[in-house]
């Protein structure tokens, strides 16, 4: 497989990963070319990517459709984030039989940040301002 581009390395270093567990729906093709859809949860997120555990075996470089249902801020109608991403790393040990999969978003980038409300265990979402990349 090809090496990570300098732009991808630079972007990865600039974006802080946030450890947050959100439900996710992942669609794509596994290493054998079989189409699949799997429910999972995020391990961490940043504006440009996500990590999560999948039971399917994937190739590095595989393209995935990603959907994350989100709690909508008061007065907002948007209740999910949908994008596409490219698998950039896969590691063993993501649960009993799963693999930890890291994707770089190649479609829309994530525009929300998450904070745990102290003491309550609830997750609060805040919209991030638009910025040119």
pLDDT value of residue 8: 56
20 in any annotated domain: yes
CATH number at residue 79: 2.40.10.220
Token code pair at residue 94: 């993501």
Segments in the chain below pLDDT 70: 1-14, 71-79, 94-96, 112-133
Entry pTM: 0.71
101 in any annotated domain: yes
pLDDT in tens, 36-47: 999 999 999 888
114 in any annotated domain: yes
132 in any annotated domain: no
Domain with 55, as residue range(s), is: 6-127
pLDDT in tens, 67-76: 988 766 666 6
Based on the structure, what is the number of domains in the chain?
1
pLDDT value of residue 130: 42
Rounded distance between C-alpha atoms, residue 113 and residue 111, angstroms: 7
1 in any annotated domain: no
């Amino acid at each position: 497989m090809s090496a990570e581009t300098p732009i991808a390395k630079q972007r990865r270093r600039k974006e802080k990963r946030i450890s947050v567990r959100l439900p996710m729906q992942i669609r794509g093709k596994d290493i054998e070319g079989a189409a699949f859809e799997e429910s999972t949860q995020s391990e961490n997120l940043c504006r440009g990517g996500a990590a999560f555990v999948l039971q399917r075996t994937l190739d590095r470089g595989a393209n995935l459709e990603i959907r994350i249902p989100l709690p909508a801020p008061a007065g907002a109608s948007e209740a999910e984030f949908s994008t596409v991403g490219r698998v950039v790393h896969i590691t063993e040990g993501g649960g009993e039989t799963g693999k930890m999969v890291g994707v770089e978003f190649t479609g829309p980038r994530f525009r929300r940040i998450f904070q745990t409300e102290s003491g309550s265990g609830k997750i609060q979402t805040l919209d991030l301002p638009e910025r040119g990349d």
